[in-house]
Structure 1
């Protein structure tokens, strides 16, 4: 015996009964390091799963934090000043302007949708544009970039009877404009002076349905698009002389003009919707990464079990020399921990580098400059997830080695060890799993979603495990087929050490996620396209002046023969109180926060709007002249705890309006017909300036008529904004398609983990396959018959996994689409068959690759050891 071996024997013989006692941990570390000298063979899947999951979480968190930090650093440039005060349908009066200008410089920006047009008659062309009228002080912060590089005042100046315009290249393309060409906006003649390259406050003004058209305030006045009640947003940006007085200044303005109805934003929250969307998307991608880690956890457990099986002789020797079970556990816990640290380190490096790679490769496509940097919090979170997953899935198989007797380790094929580890190891496993769940909840942006995710993940894991046990029990009870290959395949599904639980678990989660995404995609596409011809109007017409409403309706009825015209008055109002509670004190569910986020469209009517049904209360009588009444949408009212008789206060055109809830309506929003959250009794707004909103529904197969109506309306009513519903939905569909594409790409991380775990499980079972193949070949089985038997086994497992994934994914997608998105659900057979195909291909493919290698082994070496 060598000196080193003698030293090791003495160390083991004198090892403390507990590895945590003095010297116990040192011995465990020494032996773990000696074992690792032989390399990491067998731990490739272990490392890959941890690396993949940790890299996904670290990368997503790092990029999100870098983006959030950039938004915070550039808040003033994104907002256009230190603070922005916005009004809809009216401009600030003298008192309000005086309050805004007390402590700094004020820049006024007006935004609206309008039709830019060119030509006459058959050569007439028009396009919806997002008009932005700025004054001489714009921009107070940030830099506007245009081509050619002109001072903004020169680019927007009036020359030769035409006002300059800086336009999005897309608008120039749609109207076929070149530098110096003239076109119309309302009654104003514009000249293309430059094309827009970068707009500093784009994120704060929002990205609309049309391309940007930037003009001067003088050009906006000349267009005569701004009429009483016109849907124009007036934003007053303030650059403070003392930026440190931001909070005090905002409070002073509120005190000075309490009834102004300003929507207020500051540089500290310049793009709240974007930040919220970024946080939500980050949470989703983090959960995807966590799902990949959970799937990878199965691979961790398989790798640990396989490693311990391969070390039976070593463990038996160590225990026979006097090492207690705790020391054996500690040795391999340290060994697994060191390997896990390698995977964590690789994952952290990849994750930390992701923001730099994104900025380098895609920085030009991101609307704000992002400064990539190391994000310690995101990296630590990824480390926490990785360590807890490794512990939660490794402790159970490690604990099994503690109480297995030496004789059982030498004769495991004859007699097995304990099925469960000691209570202490079970408690440690559950503690690690609980810590993982707690970390996921505490780190989540929306903890409710995190809790739902954890419940769902636990339910799916349990369901998959029960399905695997059910498959094994069914295979055990089925009649034995007469064909040898089928009988062997059936036996392999339920025998001790079968691959059934591993295959179902590893593939089940990944395929379930694929089915969920595919069915959500199908349902959204169907809602946005297939249902459109029967339910949606062809056009929306905005900013129809009340004085021209009758003439406009007559024009549509005359020009769109057979079309259905609907027109309602429209105003904008900002909610102040609901049920006597200020909106600032309300905390609605996230899906209803939009009701309070900005001004809402409101209307008045004598009759119940089409597409609405009264579910509580009653409608007012025609010609009602009492105190103002309002009809509220039922679902939103329930979210805010509103009941019949409660009051709401809405600021309309700078005037607070108090109305009592007379009834609650259920609205079919999917019809895309005109409808509102709030409908008031007509006497509420008698005499108030407003515009009308109209829709036109043309008969089916009227593409040519749509083009003609759009052209005729643009020519006869230049102040009316025409929104073609199909174009708007096409843009929404494109955006959602890009989002779903990103989600699907990110979700491939989970599928990759599933594939890795499956490959690892099949590799871990290769030793048993070699043993079986050699024995069967010795008894006369041919290579072809063995391949067929194993192929049938893998096909049955893959098909069973696909059936489970289709069922679970369909149920989850149904809940998400109908309960969260409030849309109709559409099942897609191609998505289901695609999942089945993926499952079969992966399972049979990897299984037969491993089997072919096993069948190629020489039998003599194995037979000599039998």
Structure 2
């Protein structure tokens, strides 16, 4: 019976199935890719690092740190720093990461070079391995030379890949590998240079790295050094990509939820039509269980087939993710297929189809045989207890599924609560519209308009079901769109700043000469910022060394080991805003030292205005008091500082400078960079236009990924609308046929249907967008803590677009009535 009835209703049942296929496909593809990603991180954790563990220090290791490093007997070591290099062949210059290596690093994975032999010979031959993309950019080949500081050496090979590098990091500062012994000859490591010392270790698998890390790392941290094991690195990587996975999972869940709403709304209308047939079956002796099972088997079959198709599509789709995310991953993800996602897809399809269709399905249980004579909208109502139990099961499932995806009970509860509130508001808005139209019915309007309004609250009306389906679909799609805007706005950088080139590490004796070179080119010196390096000695009378040993302190650990680069000036910059205290522009030599700190540093240090801090300024202790706290906009790509001194304090301290200028075009930028590198090889130059291009490219890729996932929700939402509105056609056909029999013209029937669907589309989409606006405002202020500037796209595109879509689908419903005679239509539908 289930099979025979399904064959007669196959078009509608296929639409039910389509509602859930895309949601299952999205969840399966993302879950499968996340599993593959985690497996790859664990399997390749050693190859990612190239060693079992690494000790690194941002300065020359202290005597005690060096003793620990030597006692562990490093198998390889490295010093790396960011610097400008030049190609003598054509005068090209570029900011790169110079890595001086000695020993057999990497112990796992390989250095991929062209020719392949260069990786093994560059240290002995005294050559350089240069990033392959960089060589192509400057038309340089192995055999040409490269100038690093004051050292010129041959390029022995093109560097394609090395453990620990990602596409993003190498695009900002491409790597150049040279032998460790030649670093001194470059004369680039001077006062103020940003450098890092790394020591690589290979150990037997019997060593318990977690216990080893817990013992050694605190000792190294006390000496401003750090220990990283391949297991801790894989955990960090896993957490980093978990955030991406959570967003993708939520987008997939939204698509799946839309599919379930499509199932629920379509089955509601479908079963409503079948009540009379069920009553007939019961008159002929069918039991409650039999009539219930007929339709349960249909819905279960839809769920199983939809889940299977969704899982197979998901398996195909997840092959795209390594390509989409390749620039964000430090390794190639190997995709493996297992039976688990297929089982998960089939189970989700079956379970969610039955769960969300259960409420309308239960009505078949409570149809009495007598209702064959009097089926109406109040017939076959299930008991309230049963209804509440089904609602409770749906809410419990949504919570458990959200918790499984997000792994956070609070967020999962918030997501379910927001969905439930939205559902209630949409249903309430639909009922309010019905009540309002009934109470203030426009009796003087024309026949077609009155008839279309009457359809919104007559028996067998579809107002609540369609407004909820349309509104929730619009709400979820619009929320995804508004959230995407918040995420991308948060990631934007200010490209309108006057300075577009920054010159770093200018020594005190070089300052005037660099200024003269810039001005001789007809370019302005926009900023000439002095930098003084220092460390914390004590905070509010407590020594930093003692605080490092205190496990109960509320001060963040990074601050205690950090080397601060501070400056001095008499005014705030455009990226700063005074939050607390009084700004002090200048001090006399005998005045107490009053400083200004950033709000994030004040939070991490757990200090306030008036508290005392002692700094160690290259061996000299300096007592200071917090005079003011600034809010700093770190997103602006310009020199910003956590600690700022007033003028009159640090002028005689050892220091170096950062300068900024504005170069009008690429040719003049290249000329200035060449001359600066030739005369001052220790300076580093950041061309902000290149950085803007790289960041914009990254943001474009992020936008593409977000839009790709939003596409699932939008497409599923459209299918839900098609399913819901198409299913409603069977309720309107008999009314339209009756109107034609009474003499109504085709244009009148067309207008009645058109106005009804326009009202439904407008009400549902408008309420959905307004709810999305409210929820996105809450997200922006409470979660992202960003100002919210809503896009007009949902109002200008989604509102008319969804309304027109509902109108188009609705009008296609009555084409059968318009093209055929009333009797022919009734026979066909019967």
TM normalised by structure 2 equals: 0.85
2:55 to 85, 88, 91: 85
1:538 to 500, 514, 519: 500
Bigger drift between 259-268 and 818-827 goes to 818-827
Taking the TM superposition and a 5 Å limit, the aligned residue runs for 1:701-850 are 706=669, 709-816=672-779, 820-821=783-784, 825-830=788-793, 832-850=795-813
Is 1:143 equivalent to 2:110 in the alignment?
yes
The change in CA–CA distance for 1:247 and 1:849 in structure 2 (over 3 A counts) is same
Task: Report the equivalent of 2:99.
Answer: 132
Taking the TM superposition and a 5 Å limit, the aligned residue runs for 1:427-506 are 427-476=389-438, 477-480=440-443, 482-506=445-469
Is 1:76 equivalent to 2:46 in the alignment?
yes
Deviations 1:113-166 (A, max 9, x none): 22232359xx643222233332232212211111221242423555xxxx5222
Quote how far apart the aligned CAs of 1:603 are. Answer: 1.5
Task: Report the equivalent of 1:677.
Answer: 642
Task: Report the equivalent of 1:269.
Answer: 232
Task: Report the equivalent of 1:22.
Answer: none
The change in CA–CA distance for 1:349 and 1:486 in structure 2 (over 3 A counts) is same
Distance 1:664 1:357 in 2: 47
1:220 to 151, 162, 183: 183
The change in CA–CA distance for 1:520 and 1:342 in structure 2 (over 3 A counts) is closer
Quote how far apart the aligned CAs of 1:110 are. Answer: 3.0
Unaligned stretches of 5+ in structure 2? none
Unaligned stretches of 5+ in structure 1? 1-30
Paired residue secondary structure (2:455): helix
TM normalised by structure 1 equals: 0.82
Paired residue secondary structure (2:12): coil
Deviations 1:596-623 (A, max 9, x none): 8996754143656424344334567736
Is 1:176 equivalent to 2:144 in the alignment?
no
Taking the TM superposition and a 5 Å limit, the aligned residue runs for 1:353-368 are 354-355=317-318, 367-368=330-331
Quote how far apart the aligned CAs of 1:583 are. Answer: 11
Distance 1:480 1:546 in 2: 87
Paired residue secondary structure (1:42): helix
> Do 1:261 and 1:574's aligned partners in 2 also have CA atoms closer than 8 Å?
no
> Do 1:167 and 1:213's aligned partners in 2 also have CA atoms closer than 8 Å?
yes
> Do 1:527 and 1:824's aligned partners in 2 also have CA atoms closer than 8 Å?
no
The change in CA–CA distance for 1:673 and 1:197 in structure 2 (over 3 A counts) is closer
Task: Report the equivalent of 1:622.
Answer: 587
Quote how far apart the aligned CAs of 1:286 are. Answer: 1.1
Distance 1:624 1:326 in 2: 94
Distance 2:818 2:549 in 1: 72
Taking the TM superposition and a 5 Å limit, the aligned residue runs for 1:637-716 are 637-638=602-603, 642-644=607-609, 663-679=628-644, 691-696=656-661, 706=669, 709-716=672-679
The change in CA–CA distance for 1:708 and 1:603 in structure 2 (over 3 A counts) is same
Q: CA RMSD in A?
A: 4.4
Bigger drift between 470-479 and 642-651 goes to 642-651
The change in CA–CA distance for 1:142 and 1:596 in structure 2 (over 3 A counts) is farther
Quote how far apart the aligned CAs of 1:594 are. Answer: 12
> Do 1:545 and 1:692's aligned partners in 2 also have CA atoms closer than 8 Å?
yes
Task: Report the equivalent of 1:424.
Answer: 386
> Do 2:93 and 2:670's aligned partners in 1 also have CA atoms closer than 8 Å?
no
> Do 1:51 and 1:347's aligned partners in 2 also have CA atoms closer than 8 Å?
yes
Q: How many residues align?
A: 822
> Do 2:220 and 2:226's aligned partners in 1 also have CA atoms closer than 8 Å?
no
Quote how far apart the aligned CAs of 1:296 are. Answer: 1.4
Task: Report the equivalent of 1:239.
Answer: 202
Is 1:53 equivalent to 2:23 in the alignment?
yes
Paired residue secondary structure (2:798): helix
> Do 2:6 and 2:13's aligned partners in 1 also have CA atoms closer than 8 Å?
no
Distance 2:166 2:234 in 1: 6
> Do 1:537 and 1:695's aligned partners in 2 also have CA atoms closer than 8 Å?
yes
The change in CA–CA distance for 1:792 and 1:189 in structure 2 (over 3 A counts) is farther
Distance 1:757 1:587 in 2: 54
The change in CA–CA distance for 1:188 and 1:639 in structure 2 (over 3 A counts) is closer
The change in CA–CA distance for 1:526 and 1:862 in structure 2 (over 3 A counts) is closer
> Do 1:515 and 1:809's aligned partners in 2 also have CA atoms closer than 8 Å?
yes
Bigger drift between 793-802 and 765-774 goes to 793-802
Quote how far apart the aligned CAs of 1:488 are. Answer: 3.3
Bigger drift between 628-637 and 571-580 goes to 571-580
